[in-house]
């Protein structure tokens, strides 16, 4: 294994959804074992997702990024992560203006800098087709029912660039999230795995949400999960088109103006600290591509 220089990183969070951000533009390539080591909160840094900054891949984009879960597996979408990437690029001095595009693993994302310093990201249009999620249901429906051990679980399913199942519950705080989510994740109905959200409707413009993410577990916030929950609940007539989503780590804003429009996610970002991994950590990365 080749020894490489220590790798700099930034620790960030968006509404409690926490990340490690590394710059891949110099040729650094994180290997799965390195990602798992850094994700360990006791011997590494700890994160919900690792975000790797790359050069833009499409015309008009200012930069790109990749996403990995704590188990080293790649992810395709992360709304809070996209907002943190935008904030990181601005701090690095990239001239990006008020509106710009980032290349995410699931495609280009339009980002807007709001007047209060927060970032809003267009997350794309929700796709409810089972083949797009992917989900084994034979036909698209607002609600699905599956027997999981001794109970029947009702949920909606949607792709926000990554797969989501959304369960409406009476009390999100009292719901056995880990138990129900892992049962659904292990059901075999979602070939690529699934993020499972548990949503409690508080008012037509406000919900409470907990999300158990594939490859991670329960997180304090999930941007794509917030978008998925609102999309599923709008389709069922349970909420309006602009919703405040209360998560354990903070509040995110979700707006879906009409069915053929993209969902927009807004919320805060914060820098926690900057540092560098010791050479022994950095050496665990795979050779540059």
User: What are the residue ranges in the chain where pLDDT is below 50?
Assistant: 1-3, 289
250 is in an annotated binding site: no
Domain 7-122+270-282 shares a fold with domain 144-261:
yes
- And the tokens for 217? 């577990």
Q: Domain ranges in the chain?
A: 7-122+270-282, 144-261
At residue 279, the pLDDT reads 60
**Which residue of the set 42, 84, 222, 227 is catalytic?**
222
Q: At the topology level of CATH, where does 7-122+270-282 sit?
A: Diaminopimelate Epimerase; Chain A, domain 1 (3.10.310)
Mark whether 78 is an active-site residue.
Answer: yes
State residue 97's pLDDT score. Answer: 83
What residues form DSSP beta bridges with 285?
none
**pTM (predicted TM-score):** 0.89
What's residue 2's pLDDT? 41
| 2 is known to lie in a ligand binding site | no
Residue with tokens 């006791």: 42
CATH of domain 144-261: 3.10.310.10
Angle between helices 223-235 and 79-91 (to 10 degrees): 140
Asked about 84 being catalytic, the answer comes back as: no
pLDDT on residue 96: 83
∠ CA 122-177-127 to the nearest 5 degrees? 30
Q: Which helix (H) or strand (E) holds 85?
A: helix 79-91
Per-residue pLDDT, 95: 81
Residue 266 labeled ligand binder: no
Tokens 């699931």 sit at which residue? Answer: 106
CB environment 85-116: b (16+ within 10 A), e (fewer): bbbbbbeeeeebeeebbbbbbbebbbbbbeee
Alpha carbon distances (Å) from 211 to 14, 93, 193, 256: 15, 34, 14, 20
Look at residues 255, 227, 251, 259 and name the one whose alpha carbon lies nearest to residue 240: 255
Q: Is 87 annotated as a binding residue?
A: no
162 is in an annotated binding site: yes
């Amino acid at each position: 294994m080749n020894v490489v220089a220590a790798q700099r990183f930034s620790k960030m969070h968006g509404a409690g959804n926490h990340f490690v951000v590394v710059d891949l533009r110099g040729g650094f390539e994180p290997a799965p074992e390195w990602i798992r080591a850094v994700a360990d909160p006791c011997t590494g840094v700890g994160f919900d997702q690792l975000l790797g900054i790359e050069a833009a891949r499409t015309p008009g984009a200012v930069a790109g990024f990749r996403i990995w879960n704590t188990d080293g597996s790649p992810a395709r979408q992360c709304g809070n992560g996209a907002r943190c990437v935008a904030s990181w690029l601005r701090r690095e001095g990239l001239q990006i203006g008020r509106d710009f595009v980032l290349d995410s693993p699931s495609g280009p994302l339009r980002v807007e800098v709001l007047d209060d310093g927060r970032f809003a990201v267009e997350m794309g249009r929700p796709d409810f087709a089972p083949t797009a999620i992917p989900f084994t249901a034979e036909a698209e429906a607002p609600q699905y029912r599956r027997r999981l051990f001794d109970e029947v679980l009702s949920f909606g399913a949607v792709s926000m660039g990554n797969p989501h199942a959304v369960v409406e519950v009476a009390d999100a705080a009292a719901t056995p999230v880990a138990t129900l989510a892992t049962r659904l994740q292990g059901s075999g109905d979602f070939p690529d795995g699934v993020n499972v959200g548990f949503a409690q409707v508080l008012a037509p413009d406000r919900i409470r949400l907990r999300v158990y993410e594939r490859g991670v577990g329960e997180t304090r916030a999930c941007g794509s999960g917030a978008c998925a929950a609102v999309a599923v609940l709008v389709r069922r007539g349970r909420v309006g088109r602009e919703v405040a989503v209360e998560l354990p780590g903070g509040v995110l804003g979700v707006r879906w103006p009409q069915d053929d429009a993209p969902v927009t996610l807004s919320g805060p970002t914060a820098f926690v600290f900057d540092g560098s991994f010791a050479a022994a950590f950095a050496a665990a990365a795979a050779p540059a591509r």
